[in-house]
A and B are shown apart, each in its own frame.
Chain A
């Protein structure tokens, strides 16, 4: 699929160095060498330079040459491409009635490759058996999303799991078809603002577990606490260096009382520590 999304020069330059399945992320910036990350490290294919045409080509292929069809998503800074790839977009914002309407003159693209690593949750088997609200914590790019995806798959074997995926990254859904294995009893609400999705999801889908990515801000913390109060288990992730640092913040401190388990990732896809609430 990446061969369709990238112009031939860029594709050849990158994949003469690395295999497709090893790549986690690709970065295209006009006038710079394309970069790719694998195993948490970035490398550049420095014999070529990304041109504006390369960016237009990738954007065209990602949108089916129909930018207007994904304009709402573009205004939120990303689009989900066929194959479940998430394309972050950086350029000049166009405002309309005080809101970001679209992005033009795009200068950078960040292509994130979704991975499904089955059995990456072996160290979390205790949590999955003795279920409780769980928060996975790490800096960006450590594999929180991959781990949550696998948790959703495993939990859905005997529980109704509802995935709230605001940015179409956790469980990619392409034209109504889920692009990864989600297990038996998993429902996906994608591209809905999370605060709305929490309320709607709880009322309409009656989930046993809600899985969601990247809690951000006080409103969302409040929403998570409300959901937990309803007796629904929450599996979520948070950007932070450590559990201690996350809970030091006034915004996220309330999660210390709501969550039962705290999982720290110390390296890409590697569980560093699992804390029970009482241990913190």
Chain B
């Protein structure tokens, strides 16, 4: 009985780890995907409607969830409170889904928003969007391969551990 229980616990642990790893890859992919979408949205909004950043950000966030949307919520709060120093933006980009270079790039893009005229701004957004495309594809692939594999491995390992324990 105890062996069966231990086997069950081991199965759950391994599967949960697999799910966790897959969720990490999925969240990272989602973050980059939403980031790319946000840059597109801003480019359109600034180029045609000249909507202020806080409003444009709020419009983009409507009905969406995720780590990037949480980041945008913090960003809006920063704008409102006037916390717009470089250090504030470095802190904003402190996401577990971003590597060191990613954090630096995010901080730079957000720091540069709203400081220039619409032509320069849309040009900068276009450059940032182009730069993120490679990463987005890479992380999508990573999720499809490594993320899915980690989940499957977790389940298989869990079953194996359960059999061995039983």
Majority secondary structure, A binding face? helix
CA distance A57 to B115 in the complex (A): 11
Interface residue ranges, A against B (CB under 8 Å): 4, 53, 56-57, 60-61, 63-69, 71, 94, 101-102, 104
**A68/B46 in contact, CB under 8 A:** yes
Partner pick for B116 among A4, A64, A68, CB 8 A cutoff? A68
Residue in A61, A64, A68 whose CB lies within 8 Å of B117: A68
Interchain CA distance A60-B53 in the complex, whole Å: 11
Per-position 1/0 for B48-90, Cβ under 8 A of A: 0011111000000000000000000000000100101100000
Q: A60-B114, A63-B114, A101-B117 are in contact. Are A69 and B52 (CB under 8 A)?
A: yes
In the bound complex, CA of A213 to CA of B116 (Å): 30
Q: Point out the residues of chain A lying under 8 angstroms from B82, CB to CB.
A: 4, 57, 60-61
- Bound-state CA distance A68–B118 (Å) is 5
A residues near B27, Cβ cutoff 8 Å:
none
Query: Quick one: CB contact mask for B118-136 with A, threshold 8 Å, 1 for yes?
Result: 1001000000000000000
Task: Write out the residue numbers on chain A whose beta carbons fall within 8 Å of the beta carbon of B46.
Answer: 68
Indicate the member of A63, A64, A65, A102 with the most B CB atoms within 10 Å.
Answer: A65
**Would you call A65 and B114 a contact (CB within 8 A)?**
yes
Q: State the Cβ distance, B90 to closest chain A Cβ, in Å.
A: 16
Quick check: A60 and B84 within 8 Å, CB to CB? yes
A88 to chain B, nearest CB (A): 18
Q: How many A-B residue pairs have CB under 8 A?
A: 52
- Does residue B113 face the partner (Cβ distance < 8 Å to A)? yes
Please tell me if the beta carbons of A69 and B84 are within 8 angstroms of each other in the complex: no
In the assembled complex, the CB of A62 is this many whole angstroms from the nearest CB of chain B, namely 11
CA–CA, A94 and B85, complex, Å: 25
Smallest beta-carbon distance A161→chain B, Å:
31
Set of chain B residues within 8 Å of A56, measured between Cβ atoms: 115
A67 interface neighbour in B51, B79, B117, Cβ under 8 Å:
B117
- The residues of B with any CB-CB pair to A shorter than 8 Å are 46, 50-54, 79, 82, 84-85, 113-118, 121
A-B CB proximity, top 9 nearest: A68-B118, A66-B52, A65-B114, A64-B52, A66-B114, A102-B117, A69-B50, A71-B117, A66-B53
A67 to B82, CA, bound (A): 15
Is the pair B116, A69 in contact by a Cβ cutoff of 8 Å?
no
Docked CA distance A4–B84 (Å): 13
Residues of A within 8 A of B85 (CB): 53
Q: What is the CA–CA distance of A94 and B118 in the complex, to the nearest angstrom?
A: 13
Given contacts A4-B82, A60-B82, contact A65 B113 (CB under 8 A): yes
Q: Residue of B at shortest CB range from A64?
A: B52
- Cβ-defined contact, A64 with B53, below 8 A: yes
**Listed residue (A57, A67, A68) with the most chain B CB atoms within 10 angstroms of its CB:** A68
A4 to chain B: closest residue by CB: B82
Complex contacts, A64 vs chain B, CB 8 Å: 52-54, 79, 114
Closest to B120 in A: A68
Beyond A64-B52, A104-B116: 10 further Cβ-contacts under 8 Å? A60-B84, A65-B114, A66-B51, A66-B54, A67-B114, A67-B116, A67-B117, A71-B50, A71-B117, A102-B117
Determine the distance from Cα of A53 to Cα of B52 in the docked complex, in whole angstroms. Answer: 21
Q: Report B-chain residues with C-beta under 8 Å of the C-beta of A65.
A: 52-54, 79, 84, 113-115
Given contacts A60-B82, A101-B117, whether A68 and B54 have CB atoms under 8 Å apart is no
The CA-CA distance from A53 to B88 in the complex, in Å, is: 14
Chain A minimum-CB-distance residue to B115: A67
| Interchain CA distance A248-B115 in the complex, whole Å | 46
List residues of chain A with CB within 8 A of the CB of B118.
68, 71
Cβ of B80 to closest chain A Cβ, rounded Å: 9
Q: Please give me the residue from chain B that is nearest to A3 by CB atom.
A: B82
